[in-house]
Amino acid sequence: MPRIQAPTVAEHRKLRRRAILDAARALLEETGRAPSLAAAGARVGLARPSVYQYFTSREALLHGVVADVFPAWTTRVLDHVDAASTPADRVWAYVEANVELFTGPEQTVAKALRTLIDPAVLHEHSSQFHIRQREPLLEALRRLGEPEPERMAELVNAAILRACQDVEPDDGAAALALLDRLLRPYLNAHRNRTRTRQLPPARHQPP
């Protein structure tokens, strides 16, 4: 019987499943093709029969990757936005996090999944991803005083997508530079307006 490398059997199985998913995700990024159970197992030192205890087929492994990566991507965006302090900074943090996803290694995984997974299954997960990550953007836009936060959020997302399409792959800095030139006046205007509202009223000096 293999040695248990965790306090409990349940935790041991959780760690092994995590390792297999990470291996499959890495293989997707490297090859753009669906990893076999044997290849994923080899990455973590497991024989194919051991991998079968967690995923019964290559398709099941792929579905496991899909169910894993979208929440992980959502968390990356939300954590980056949460670390920003002001509404304007939170909007820009949202832009940064999405550009990183669209121009970084994760985009290779996303492209591979689009060719390998049933579009209906992929759409369900991607829709939840976009809904959840859009919530903090809408909140930040409302706090900025944006009169049409829904429409502005759509424009921000469209600008992110177009900027990432218009630069060389992996050139997130170029995409951010484009978006900075586009959004800086808008965000600065709201920063100044917020700062003015927060200033204490002028105190009249006696004659």
**Tens-place pLDDT, residues 37-48:** 999 999 999 999
Q: How confident is the model at residue 201 (pLDDT cuts 50, 70, 90)?
A: low
Q: Identify the CA nearest to 189 among candidates 145, 154, 159.
A: 145
The string of DSSP letters for 32-97 reads SSPPPHHHHHHHTT--HHHHTTT-SSHHHHHHHHHHHHHHHHHHHHHHHHHT--SHHHHHHHHHHH
Tokens standing for residue 40: 């994923």
The amino acid occupying position 178 is L
The pLDDT-based confidence of 205 (bands split at 50, 70, 90) is very low
pLDDT at 202 over 80: no
Q: Which tokens sit at 17?
A: 């499943």
Of the pLDDT bands very low, low, confident and very high (cuts 50, 70, 90), residue 189 is confident
Distance CA 41, CA 20 (A): 6
Q: Residue 164 domain-assigned?
A: yes
- Domain annotation covers residue 61: no
How many angstroms separate the CA atoms of 111 and 106, rounded?
9
Q: In Å, what is the CA distance from 24 to each residue of 43, 45, 46, 108, 203?
A: 9, 13, 13, 13, 65
Query: What CATH number is associated with residue 16?
Result: 1.10.10
> Of 15, 31, 56, which closes a domain?
56
**Cα–Cα distance for residue pair 150/176, rounded to 1 Å:** 22
CB 93 within 8 A of CB 83: yes
* Domain contains 79: yes
Say whether both 104 and 22 belong to one domain: no
| 89 and 190 part of one domain | yes
With bands split at pLDDT 50, 70 and 90, how would you rate the model's confidence at 199?
Answer: very low
- Does the structure show a pLDDT above 90 at 146? yes
Find out whether 160 and 95 touch, Cβ atoms under 8 Å.
Answer: yes
Give pLDDT tens digits for 94-111: 999 999 999 988 888 999
What lies within 8 Å, CB to CB, of 64 at 6+ separation is 17, 21, 24, 55
Domain match, 41 and 106 both: no
Q: Which two tokens stand for residue 124?
A: 């369900």
Domain presence at residue 203: no
Residue 119 in any domain: the answer is yes
In this structure, is residue 169 part of a structural domain?
yes
How many domains are there within the chain? 2
State whether 112 and 38 are in the same domain.
no
Record the pTM.
0.83
Q: In this predicted model, what pLDDT tens digit does every residue of 82-95 receive, in sequence order?
A: 999 999 999 999 99
Domain boundary among 38, 56, 74: 56
pLDDT at 138 over 90: yes
In a domain, 155, yes or no: yes
Structural domain span for residue 31: 1-56
Together in a domain, 28 and 81: no
Last residue of a domain, one of 35, 56, 77: 56
Same domain membership, residue 71 and residue 43: no
Give a yes or no: residue 82 inside a domain. Answer: yes
Whether residue 40 sits in one domain with residue 128: no
Q: Helices in 83-148 by DSSP H: which ranges?
A: 87-103, 106-116, 119-144
How far is Cα 33 from Cα 102, in angstroms, rounded to an integer? Answer: 19
Q: Based on the fold, state whether residues 18 and 85 are members of the same structural domain.
A: no
3-state secondary structure of 116: helix
**105 and 33 inside one domain:** no
**Count of Cβ atoms closer than 10 Å to residue 124 Cβ:** 13
